[in-house]
């Protein structure tokens, strides 16, 4: 499964959320990561993030694409994701 | 085409970017909008955003899904998008 993750968490937890998400996915932009995951990997990532975030304050949103990947990704402006864009 | 838009722009331009994007898409989370667009609508949205953002500083990222929509959307934590989640 291909996953796009977008988080909106309190600044106190950003570093930890990003560090955890990067173990599983590629960073593409501020608050956005994506990548291919197994079902097991996806469950593990969710479990780890659930322990870090404040479920009453923070949001972590997953888009799951089962058709391989998205059709296209287009960028306006500056590329912030560095080499991890090329995945 | 189904579009997920994620922006990372300077605070000085956030309000204008959000206002413009909302004319075309539904707001789902801080910096994230999504929705169905025609090709013409997508081009128009990009043109409008290009005029607002600083192309050397800001990022607006579009994921284009041509297979209708994503397979699933899952949320950890608090729902920030209000009723526009139900689209």
Q: Do B71 and A67 touch (CB under 8 A)?
A: yes
Q: How far apart are CA A29 and CA A76, in angstroms?
A: 12
Q: What's the pLDDT tens digit per position in A38-74?
A: 999 999 999 999 999 999 999 999 999 876 778 788 8
pLDDT tier at A78 (50, 70, 90 boundaries)?
confident
Q: How far apart are CA B79 and CA B58, in angstroms?
A: 26
Per-position DSSP letters for A14-80, written without gaps between them: HHHHHHHHHTTSEEEETTEEEEE--HHHHHHHHHHHHHHS-TTT-EEEEEEE-SSS-SEEEEEE---
B87 touches chain A (CB under 8 A): no
Q: How far apart are CA A20 and CA A33, in angstroms?
A: 11
Q: How far apart are CA B35 and CA B23, in angstroms?
A: 11
Nearest-Cα residue of chain B relative to residue A29: B8
Q: Which domains does chain A have, with CATH numbers?
A: 2-69 (3.30.70.240)
- A9 contacts in B (CB within 8 Å)? 77
Q: Please classify residue A15 by burial: count the beta carbons closer than 10 Å to its beta carbon, then call 0-12 exposed, 13-18 middle and 19+ buried.
A: exposed
pTM: 0.88
Selecting from A31, A49, A74 the residue whose C-beta is nearest the C-beta of B76 gives A49
Q: What's the pLDDT tens digit per position in B21-41?
A: 999 999 998 899 999 999 999
Q: What percent of chain A has pLDDT over 70?
A: 90
- B49 contacts in A (CB within 8 Å)? 76
Residue holding tokens 């309000």?
B15
């Amino acid at each position: 499964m291909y996953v796009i993750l977008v988080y909106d968490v309190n600044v106190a937890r950003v570093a930890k959320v990003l560090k955890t998400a990067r173990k599983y996915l590629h960073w593409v932009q501020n608050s956005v990561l994506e990548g291919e995951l197994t079902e097991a990997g996806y469950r593990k990532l969710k479990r780890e993030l659930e322990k870090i975030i404040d479920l009453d304050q923070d949001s972590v949103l997953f888009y799951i694409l089962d058709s391989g990947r998205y059709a296209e990704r287009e960028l306006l402006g500056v590329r912030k994701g560095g080499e991890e864009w090329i995945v």
